[in-house]
């Protein structure tokens, strides 16, 4: 089985790469902007015709797309998150129409969720902000294509290697920075009272492997999450416990614009259990401990929630 992995250099992509390479009989090819990849590709600027020819030459059985942008201008977000998947689908229809496409979506596509409710894949998508809207556009392009395709909507991924741009990654780096100050150390974050559904990146990677290897077509969209909403404050509490930090967490800082306006999100993951035999296995405390112990953690940076 020939698997073409896009975005394998990113946080989730690196975890998925290890799982994909362990699949029996798998040959993993990579695509990205660096020369070291099997396919030089920037989905933000790619053209469907030439890309289709390159895909025909590579002859993948499966394409896994982690490529995406979480920050930047509206133009950049639209190019990578919306246009990119649409171009990829057209190119696959031209050059590798029988290949399965596993596309990584985001909980940001759903937007606001009523407190206490769980989002199923049939829930109305009402994204808040440009990021969620562009991710939704890309997922709609995949789900509406004639390809053998599935969108894995990942909720809030956490784990070793969490990027410095995420709250867990920034908070871990800041705890390292102020740890020598002991009880006098202060880490300033934004309001941590919102609820999110956190999922271990390694559990996401397992689900990707199951989707790649699944027999027969899959539903167009599957949620990947823990199925349990937790206060964002649980991330701080877990990292404090893992690090032994004795100082203070101050929530008076600026919050995340991308997360503003969504106070509650929780996923229904029963479809992924039914269709893939997948269940989240890693407890959040273990996830945060492993993030803290990860020696390749992000460099210190200012923290905002």
DSSP for 194-239? SEE-EEEHHHHHHHHHHHHH-SS---SEEEES-S--EETHHHHHHH
DSSP for 135-185? HHHHHHHHHTSSSEEEEEEE-EEE-TT--TTSHHHHHHHHHHHHGGGGGG-
Helix and strand counts by DSSP (H, E) for the chain: 10, 13
Catalytic residues: 131
Provide the token pair at 158.
Answer: 């956490």
CA distance 223 to 194: 20
Cβ-proximal residues to 120 (8 Å cutoff; 6+ apart), any chain: 223, 268, 271
Closest listed residue to residue 223, CA positions, set 137, 153, 280: 153
CA distance 81 to 77: 6
CB of 282 closer than 8 Å to CB of 207: no
Provide the token pair at 138.
Answer: 């890309």
């Amino acid at each position: 089985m020939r698997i073409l992995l896009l975005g394998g250099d990113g946080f989730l992509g690196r975890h998925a790469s290890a799982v994909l390479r362990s699949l029996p009989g798998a040959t993993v090819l990579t695509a990205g902007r660096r020369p070291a990849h099997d396919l030089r590709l920037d989905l933000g600027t790619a053209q469907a015709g030439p890309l289709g020819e390159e895909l025909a030459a590579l002859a993948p059985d499966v394409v896994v797309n982690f490529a995406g942008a979480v920050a930047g201008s509206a133009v950049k977000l639209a190019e990578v998150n919306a246009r990119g998947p649409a171009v990829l689908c057209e190119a696959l229809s031209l050059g590798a129409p029988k290949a399965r496409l596993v596309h990584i979506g985001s909980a940001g596509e759903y937007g606001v969720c009523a407190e206490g409710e769980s989002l199923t894949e049939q829930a109305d998508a009402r994204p808040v902000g440009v990021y969620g809207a562009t991710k939704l556009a890309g997922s709609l392009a995949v789900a509406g294509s004639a390809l053998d395709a599935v969108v894995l909507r990942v909720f809030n991924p956490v784990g070793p290697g969490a990027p410095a741009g995420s709250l867990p990654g920034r908070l871990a780096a800041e705890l390292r920075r102020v740890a020598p100050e002991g009880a006098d150390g202060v880490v300033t974050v934004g309001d941590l009272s919102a609820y999110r559904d956190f999922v271990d990146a390694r559990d996401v990677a397992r689900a990707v492997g199951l989707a790649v290897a699944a027999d027969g077509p899959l539903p167009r969209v599957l949620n990947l999450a823990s199925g349990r909403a937790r206060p964002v404050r649980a991330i701080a509490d877990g990292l404090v416990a893992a690090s032994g930090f004795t100082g203070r967490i101050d929530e008076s800082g600026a919050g995340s614009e991308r997360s503003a306006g969504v106070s509650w999100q929780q996923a229904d993951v029963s479809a992924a259990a039914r269709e893939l035999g997948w269940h989240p296995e890693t407890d959040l405390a273990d996830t945060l401990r492993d993030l803290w112990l990860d020696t390749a953690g992000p460099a210190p940076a200012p923290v905002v929630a």
